[in-house]
């Protein structure tokens, strides 16, 4: 085994080994900063095309580092390293550090594994690792909100796993091979190709937070500790984007499906804006901002697939956009913890710069990402709606800054290590898109200086400022509970449970009652889960899926 292959293996092996050691060492939190460093070394040093075959594992494991995987691997490794550097002091003195570290390292292994998997079985296993152990990160604090967020998260995560399994099995059967490239090529002409693509898009769309499967995202991001929120928003949701990039048929295949997916992505982006500006705490606003940006990323992917296929300009746009968003959003989540300590004004200024960059301010990495997205988005009505998402992003960032500035300083978690981690991630968010654009498509750089492009990037921001001023004049913003659609489901559950006892139930349109109903129903649902656990439900669902696949396959 040469050095490049060894780096690929170590990228996955080290987090798994550290997960095992976390249950034995005295201070497992000290291991967190080192877990992702082999993955970062692999992304930077291993040549593209490095391949590791392990026919004795699963159904024949194949790990491969290509250009797309290297970019996503580097993004995930940087985020996990910065958050791991940030976490020990933030979590010092909190209960259950060992379980947090085990969940952290297992989820990290899955996050890096999705970037390296070249066969369907390995991708499915990596996706399961990035999804299921993250439950331990979401409910780490064991509060009512954390239990509720974890309940919603694990239910949707299991649903995503079932849908992804169905899509992969149909795709593998059509391709006659486990290799992802062959599965993707075989889907357009497969007998059940439409069903396979729909199942894949559903399973991966849950991870991206696409409507109406987004309910977990604002709840989980708000309930998780700050370093876990940073990797949830910056890295873990990118597993869904990478999966769509790998599996969504290209070369114009299934153009009608791709067009509908583009509409869904843009609709998700704008719905997240409408819900996010109605939040009352900083972290849910950032979570809805992530949902909005992921919807836009899905629209870019689907737009490219509906035109000339995924590749070239579409791949560049997705990579630049994903890297910029992942680093910037990870830094903003880390800022929530840093704001509780000294130096609030400087941190708020840095957050304002990051927010403007996310919205596409001229001469920033966000403008580069929006310029790269022009070609795959096309020129129709949906593309114009997508181009205006920058205005919605700025509204969300203004809302976040407003809430963060009003938030009273609490217990200071911010020491030099936390401030350094935030600063390094913020600097990377501002610089990395330029480096990546220069490496992938140097023609983007001169376009930043063109007056027409600068005005196209500026006027949506001016519109957002005008809308923000109007909202301040009105002085009242509607209140929507974090999790929105999950709160409606909780309220419906509570109404159903209250019928036998004639207990009062919340009004159908009372948003305040939705929030209260969600908090109150969480414990009742957990009691019911003890009698009929999610794992038993998952086992029955998987058995039904296997039966359905058996009936579908010839």
Task: Give mean pLDDT, residues 43-57.
Answer: 86
Is pLDDT at 470 greater than 90 in this prediction? no
Alpha carbons 316 and 84: distance in angstroms, whole number: 29
Is pLDDT at 90 greater than 50 in this prediction? yes
pLDDT at 80: 93
Q: What is the pLDDT of residues 172-211, one digit of tens each?
A: 888 888 888 888 888 887 778 788 888 888 999 888 888 8
Is pLDDT at 479 greater than 90 in this prediction? no
pLDDT at 79: 93
pLDDT at 107: 92
Task: Give mean pLDDT, residues 353-371.
Answer: 87
pLDDT at 525: 44
Q: What percent of the chain has pLDDT over 70?
A: 82
pLDDT bracket for residue 21 (50, 70, 90): confident
Mean pLDDT score across all residues of the chain: 80
Region of poorest pLDDT, from 223-232, 297-306, 476-485? 476-485
Alpha carbons 83 and 74: distance in angstroms, whole number: 14
Of the spans 48-62, 405-419, 532-546, which averages the highest pLDDT? 48-62
Q: What is the pLDDT of residues 498-539, one digit of tens each?
A: 555 444 554 544 445 444 545 454 444 444 443 334 444 444
Place of tokens 């305040």: 512
Provide the token pair at 235.
């890295």
DSSP tag of 312: T
Is pLDDT at 426 greater than 80 in this prediction? yes
CA 350 → CA 30, 92, 345, distances in Å?
A: 28, 26, 9
pLDDT at 499: 53
pLDDT at 530: 38
pLDDT at 539: 47
Task: Give mean pLDDT, residues 16-41.
Answer: 87
Task: Give mean pLDDT, residues 336-350.
Answer: 80
pLDDT at 524: 47
Alpha carbons 73 and 12: distance in angstroms, whole number: 11
Per-domain residue ranges for the chain? 1-44+53-247, 252-480, 485-552
pLDDT at 522: 45
CA atoms within 13 A on the CB side of 466: 7
pTM given for the model = 0.84
Name the nearest CA neighbour of 199 among 534, 487, 552: 552
Alpha carbons 402 and 88: distance in angstroms, whole number: 28
pLDDT at 72: 92
Alpha carbons 83 and 89: distance in angstroms, whole number: 11
Q: How many helical (H) and strand (E) elements, i.e. helices and strands, does the chain have?
A: 25, 2
pLDDT at 75: 92
């Amino acid at each position: 085994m040469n050095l490049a292959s060894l780096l690929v293996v170590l990228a996955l092996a080290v987090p798994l080994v550290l997960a095992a050691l976390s249950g034995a060492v005295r201070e497992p939190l000290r291991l967190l900063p080192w877990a992702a460093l082999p993955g970062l070394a692999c992304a930077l040093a291993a040549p593209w095309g490095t391949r590791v075959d392990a026919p004795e594992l699963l159904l024949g494991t194949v790990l491969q580092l290509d250009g797309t995987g290297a970019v996503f691997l580097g993004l995930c490794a940087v985020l996990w390293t910065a958050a791991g550097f940030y976490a020990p002091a933030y979590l010092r003195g909190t209960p259950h550090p060992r379980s947090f570290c085990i969940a952290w390292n297992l989820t990290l292994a899955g996050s890096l594994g999705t970037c390296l998997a070249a066969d369907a079985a390995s991708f499915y296993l990596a996706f399961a690792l990035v999804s299921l152990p993250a439950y331990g990160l979401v409910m780490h604090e064991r509060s009512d909100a954390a239990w509720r967020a974890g309940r919603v998260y694990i239910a949707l995560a299991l649903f995503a796993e079932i849908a992804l399994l169905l899509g992969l099995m149909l795709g593998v059967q059509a391709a006659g091979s486990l290799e992802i490239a062959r599965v993707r090529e075989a889907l357009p002409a497969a007998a059940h190709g439409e069903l396979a693509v729909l199942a894949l898009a559903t399973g991966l769309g849950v991870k991206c937070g696409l409507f109406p499967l987004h309910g977990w995202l604002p709840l989980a991001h708000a309930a998780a500790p700050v370093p876990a929120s940073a990797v949830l928003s910056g890295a873990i949701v990118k597993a869904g984007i990478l999966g769509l990039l790998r599996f969504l048929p290209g070369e114009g295949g299934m153009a009608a499906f791709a067009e509908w997916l583009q509409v869904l992505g843009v609709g998700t982006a704008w719905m997240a804006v409408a819900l996010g500006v109605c939040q009352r705490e900083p972290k849910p606003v950032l979570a809805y901002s992530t949902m909005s940006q992921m919807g836009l990323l899905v629209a870019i992917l689907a737009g490219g697939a509906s035109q000339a296929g995924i590749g070239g300009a579409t791949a560049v746009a997705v990579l630049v956009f994903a890297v910029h968003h992942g680093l910037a959003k990870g830094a903003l989540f880390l800022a929530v913890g840093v704001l509780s300590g000294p130096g609030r004004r400087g941190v708020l200024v840095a957050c304002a710069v990051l927010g403007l960059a996310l919205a596409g301010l001229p001469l920033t990495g966000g403008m580069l990402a929006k310029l790269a997205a022009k070609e795959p988005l096309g020129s129709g009505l949906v593309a114009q709606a997508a181009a205006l998402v920058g205005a919605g992003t700025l509204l969300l960032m203004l809302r976040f800054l407003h809430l963060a500035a009003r938030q009273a300083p609490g217990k200071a978690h911010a020491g030099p290590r936390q401030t350094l981690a935030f600063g390094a991630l913020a600097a990377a968010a501002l610089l990395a898109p330029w480096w990546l654009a220069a490496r992938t498509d140097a023609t983007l750089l001169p376009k930043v200086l063109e007056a027409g492009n600068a005005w196209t990037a500026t006027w949506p921001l001016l519109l957002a400022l005008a809308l923000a001023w109007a909202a301040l004049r009105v002085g009242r913003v509607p209140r929507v509970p974090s999790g929105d659609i999950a709160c409606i489901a909780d309220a419906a559950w509570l109404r159903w449970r209250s019928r036998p006892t004639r207990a009062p139930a919340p009004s159908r349109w009372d948003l305040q009652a939705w929030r209260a109903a969600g908090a109150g129903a969480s414990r009742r649902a957990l009691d019911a889960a003890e009698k009929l656990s999610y794992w038993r439900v998952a086992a029955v669902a998987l058995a039904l899926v296997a039966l359905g696949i058996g009936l579908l396959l010839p």
